[in-house]
Each structure stands twice: as C-alpha cells, then as structure tokens.
Amino acid sequence: MTTRIIVFGQLTDIINSSELALDNIRDTDSVVEELNNRYPALVSAKYMIAVDKQTVTENTILKEGSTVALLPPFSGG
Amino acid sequence: MKEDNLFERYGRQMILKGFGEANQQKLLQAKVLVVGAGGLGCPALQYLAAAGIGTIGIVDNDAVSLSNLHRQVLYTTDDIGLPKAEVAASRLRRVNPQIKIVSYTIRLNVSNALDTIREYDLVIDGTDNFASRYLVNDACGILNKPLVYGAVSQYEGQVAVFNVSDKKGHKVNYRDVFPASPKNGEVANCEQAGVLGVLPGIIGTMQAAEAIKLITGIGKPLLNKLLTYNVLTNEIYDVHLTVSSAGKGLAPQDEASFLAMDYSDGCRAEEGTVVEIDAEQFKGISKKPSAVVIDVREWGESPLLSNFDYQQIPMSVFRENIAAIKADTIILFCQHGIRSLYAAEIVEEVFGTTKNVYSLKGGIVKWSDELV
C-alpha cells in the first residue's frame, strides 16, 4: 500500500518537495514517525494533519489510496 | 440615498441573477471590521468599500513604510510615515463617499478588542502575526462574530470562515485548526520568509468575497473549510475542519477569562511590541492628536529641539512620572535610541499593551538633518 503525502508552506523546504510517497504505512502516527526519521527538522515543525481532506486530531488508520496532507500555520498578512 | 444613485453605482452587481436590490441593501446595512490594513487588508478594504458595505472599520496602529508598497496597494510613496488606518480611510472615502469609514489607529489588545469588535457584524483578519490572530479569533468566538480568516506565506495563502454554523450546526475557529499559538521563531513571518506581492492581493480579495457571500447569503462560503491557494501552481486544496477539544480547552470561554489572557508570547514577543521608527514615521505619527512625544534625555542635554512639540521626562525620573501620561500613543526619543527603547519597555510594564509605544531608532543624532 502506497500513501501519498503532500506538504504545504515552509514544510516544502524541509522535505525539499511538496509531495512524496510512503510504502506500507498503517496510520498517521506512523507517517509522522517515518517523516521525522527522514527529515529531523520536521520534529520541531508545527502543522496540522488532514487525511483525504479531513482534519484528524488523533491517530488515524489509512486506507488504500489515502492522501495525507501536512499544513503549517501561516502568519503573514 | 436616492434610488437612481444606488442603481448607478451598484447596478452591475444588482442585475446579477440571485443578487438584486435586496442583497445590495444588505451590504449597505452591514458593518465590517478589517483588522490590519496591510497586504490582506488593503485589497479587502478596496472591494468592500466599492461593493457598498455600509460601515467599514479599519484597525491598524502601524505607519506606512517603503517595504509595504510592493503589496499594500492602497498606499503611495508619499504616504510613507503616515498612519495606515487614516490613509486607508481617506482613500476609501474617495472610492465611495456614500459609506461610513471608521479608522482605529490602535493595536487590538485584550482591553480594547471586545468593545471594538462588538460594534460590527463581521470581522476580517488581515493581521500579520500569531498573537493578533489568536486575539482576534478568541474575541470573535466570545462575541459570536463571523470571522473571515486569511494568511499568507511566500507563495501560498490560506482562507477560512470561522464562527458560522454549517447546515449540521457545526462551527469551528482558528483554535480548531491550530490549538495553540506557535512560540517565538517557530514559524517565520513575511519579513523573514518573504511573500510575492500579488499573493495577499488574491487572498485579501477572496476574504472580501467570502464576507459579501456571508452578508448576502449567496453561494457557498468556506464554512468549516480551510482553503490553501498556491500562486505558483494555481492549485487549490481545501480541507474540512472539525472541532478540536484541544482548541476548545485553550480558548477563553467568557469575557472575564479573555481579559485575563496573555497573547504576548507568540511571534509578536520576538518582534517586540515596541515599534522602532525612523524620522519619516516619527513625523507622521507625532501629528496624530492622540500622540505625545517625550524626550527621555536628562535635563540640559543638547541639542534642544524646536521643530516639534514634546515634553521631557528624563530616564532618572521616568518610571515615577510616566503613569500620569494620558495619551494612548507615546513616541519616545533620546540621543541614540537606546534609552528611549528602554523607556518604551517601562511604558509597557506600566500600561501593559494598552498604549501604542514608539521609539525613534538611532535617536536625535541619527536624524539630526530631519528633526533638529
């Protein structure tokens, strides 16, 4: 099972792309764990998580074809 | 207002299917407060005024600077140093003399936010820092005012509508998206991260459109949705928001707990609540009737100044005497801008964030050509 991960704002600077794919990821906690391992700067970054365009606040099981989005807060005006 | 005037000015939108005179009347009766007259606020204000929002409030305690002009399109090079809220108000009165424009040259804080917002039907968040965003969000939550949120960073912007129930009766606010304000330096602001000038133009215009939709009831406003727009790819990504118990726990639940909140430990603390200004801004802000200019040098220090009115409260007796100052805008200066910055911190200790405090950066020595 492949999960599409998309990131926004300055998170794209951390992972050097706006999108990546992760294989055999079961839930959102595992997404965070895997990304933190690959991109240590992400550990201290602030963002919210959406699965298939729905915000999640707790660990969420992923389905085949799910897209996980990481959205940071913007302050600029 | 005469009927024919109404149609002449607003006819192009009144003839729209689903809009009509009834919706134009709703706009004319609406009161909208725009907090922050910067990159987001300028375009939002222009379109709201042009569309005929009957009463528009503008909150901004900042002065126009050269670095604003690439995105804050209400201002011209001649406006540098002048208070944004007042310049914006005078421009908008020329755009539409038939509506009421109220300018507030203040920074919203816990003691003035509720009274200011209470007067309006809807609020547009055009602020540029997290402390103000959480303050505006929480105040709107307590007063149950619809809030049209917008924010930008680099090439991307966000828009959402908060505090308005969807068909199922659900409503969210900024704390449901990001429960707690980021700490110092956790997230870069425009000054640090940059922003393409046209981007806040697009996002601020979208905020004006959401406000018009909410007031008239046309279309589908972004209820419980956070929309992200990328100007480089033209991609739009909208996320459905749900109530977060963490956010609810951190938000003040009533006016008393709001008044006791401390919003100063967000990004704003890093920037400092004291604003350091140059000679142009000094001249602009000191013209305000509510402003007082204070020399914090000791008695007998020179040069003495005669080009503007000021009073002297030397640093040695500053703390004892500052409490008597009634003006809500205080501009401090000294020889090099170091003592005045320290004095500004004392003003904040004494008054909290109830006053707008400015310090002349570099002092009289740096600006002797302009001020002496």
pLDDT tens-digit series, residues A8-24: 999 999 999 999 999 99
More confident residue, B338 or A26: A26
Q: What is the pLDDT of residue B4?
A: 56
Could you give the percent of chain B with pLDDT greater than 90? 69
Rounded CA-CA distance B237/A15 in Å is 19
What is the pLDDT averaged over residues B247-270?
78
Least confident of B39-53, B82-96, B111-125, B173-187: B173-187
The answer, for B64 touching chain A at a CB cutoff of 8 Å, is: no
pLDDT of B254 > 50? The answer is yes
Q: Is B287 helix (H, G, I), strand (E, B) or coil?
A: coil
- Site of tokens 């004291």: B274
The answer, for B221 touching chain A at a CB cutoff of 8 Å, is: no
pLDDT of B1 > 80? The answer is no
Q: What is the pLDDT of residue B47?
A: 98
In CATH, which superfamily holds the domain spanning B3-267?
NAD(P)-binding Rossmann-like Domain (3.40.50.720)
What confidence category does residue B184 fall into, taking pLDDT thresholds of 50, 70 and 90? low
What confidence category does residue B302 fall into, taking pLDDT thresholds of 50, 70 and 90? confident
Return the structure tokens found at B349: 């200790």
Rounded CA-CA distance B173/B246 in Å is 12
In Å, how far is A19's CA from the nearest CA of chain B?
A: 13
Residues with Cβ within 8 Å of residue B118, at least 6 apart in sequence: B143
Are B356 and B106 in contact, with CB atoms under 8 Å apart? yes
- Give the pLDDT confidence of B109-144 residue by residue, as tens digits: 999 999 999 999 999 999 999 999 999 999 999 999
For chain B, the domains span 3-267, 273-371
Which chain B residue's Cα is nearest to A77? B128
Rounded CA-CA distance B23/B18 in Å is 9
Nearest alpha carbon to residue A28 among A4, A2, A5, A61: A61
In Å, how far is B84's CA from the nearest CA of chain A?
A: 14
More confident residue, B136 or B248: B136
Report residue B123: phi and psi, to 5°. -120, 140
Could you give the percent of chain B with pLDDT greater than 70? 94
CB contact under 8 A, A46 and B182: yes
CB contact under 8 A, B127 and A77: yes
CATH 3.40.50.1970 fits domain B273-371: no
Nearest alpha carbon to residue B145 among B124, B175, B170: B124
Rounded CA-CA distance B268/B185 in Å is 10
Task: Indicate whether this complex's ipTM tops 0.85.
Answer: yes
What confidence category does residue A74 fall into, taking pLDDT thresholds of 50, 70 and 90? very high
pLDDT of B268 > 50? The answer is no
Peptide bond into B303 cis (omega under 30): yes
Rounded CA-CA distance A73/B211 in Å is 22
In angstroms, how far apart are the furthest CA atoms of chain A? Answer: 40
Residue among B39, B128, B187 minimizing CB distance to A46: B187
Domains of chain A listed by start with CATH number: 2-71 (3.10.20.30)
Return the structure tokens found at A36: 């933190």
